[in-house]
Structure 1
Amino acid sequence: MKNVGWVFFLVLGVFSCKEKQLTPEEIQPLVGKWKLDAIEPAGDVRKWESVASKDGYVFEIRYDGVILDANGLPACCVPSYLVYQGNKFTIEPKEKLAPNPSCALVLCMACDTWYLELENGQLITNACNSGGRNRFTRL
């Protein structure tokens, strides 16, 4: 009988440690088009460096978490997961995606998770928790 109780608490512990998954409703504040306006390089000094408007690229986060480029095509080198407010969201396209021919010309580095936060209406991204961050303004 003692073993049954121990197994029960073990199973309960495994399921209670499961990571909370974000829903599409919870990522709604992130949905929209964003333009890069500053970068914060990795390192000890935490200072934003402005990006010239002509150099700021645009991307879009769709309602299902899919990352699109400025032309509405799937962006190249995108993550499989978004982490927002400490919770993970698995990107699962809800609609068929058109192929992006420019992705054939890009060599992607493995980075399956983007860490996102909203700060004063701006989107802060940290790909792979690398230390360097990008700041985007909503379009």
Structure 2
Amino acid sequence: MRSTLLVLFLVGLFSCKEKQLSPEELQPLVGKWRVTSIQPAGKTEWEFVTQSGQHQFEIRYDGVILGPDGLPICCGPKYLKVNGKVFTIVPKEGLPDNPLCALVNCVGCETLEMDLQGDGLTTNTCNGSGRSRYERI
């Protein structure tokens, strides 16, 4: 009886594990992205962004997210969830300090949810403030 319960517990535990994204599967996401439109929370319409020069970021080969200045973003996520699969961000090389981060009180999200379709990327904010669409640059 105990062994049956243990087997059922282990099967349940391992069947609930999230699908992991491999470094190879992350490669289509690597590169620079520029915002094209936003969808504020509670709205169904997308608003186009015309001055998107400041709203750019880069995803490195190891998942690290860099701002337009090449410095790591403040309060960056620990995980990327891309098309339902999770990738754990582990920097493979050193990162310079971003002096702006000393001025920021981080209450960021551990997981950044993304939907990647070709050269289009949609992100969801974890605090419910809306979604953003990006294009590869």
TM-score, normalization by structure 1: 0.88
The residue aligned with 2:125 is 127
Unpaired runs of at least 5, structure 1: none
Residue identity in the other structure for 2:116: L
The residue aligned with 2:37 is 38
Residue identity in the other structure for 1:13: G
Contact 2:34 2:53 in 1 (8 A): no
Unpaired runs of at least 5, structure 2: none
The residue aligned with 1:20 is 19
Contact 2:35 2:52 in 1 (8 A): no
Residue identity in the other structure for 1:74: P
Once superposed, which parts of structure 1, at least 4 consecutive aligned residues long, lie more than 3 Å away?
none
Residue identity in the other structure for 1:130: G
Aligned equivalents of 1:90, 1:54: Cα separation in 2 = 28
How large is the Cα RMSD of the aligned pairs?
Answer: 1.8
**Deviation per residue, 1:48-71 (Å, 9 max, x gap):** 101123554110011111000112
TM-score, normalization by structure 2: 0.89
The residue aligned with 1:97 is 95
Cα 1:42–1:31 shift into 2, 3 Å: same
**Deviation per residue, 1:20-39 (Å, 9 max, x gap):** 22111111111100011211
Aligned equivalents of 2:35, 2:119: Cα separation in 1 = 13
Task: For residue 24 of structure 2, give the secondary structure of its aligned residue in structure 1.
Answer: coil
The residue aligned with 1:88 is 86
The residue aligned with 1:63 is 61
Aligned equivalents of 1:38, 1:59: Cα separation in 2 = 15
Residue identity in the other structure for 2:50: A
State the number of aligned residues.
137
Contact 1:82 1:88 in 2 (8 A): yes
**Post-superposition offset of 1:109:** 2.6
Identity %: 52
Contact 1:113 1:127 in 2 (8 A): no
Aligned equivalents of 2:107, 2:8: Cα separation in 1 = 41
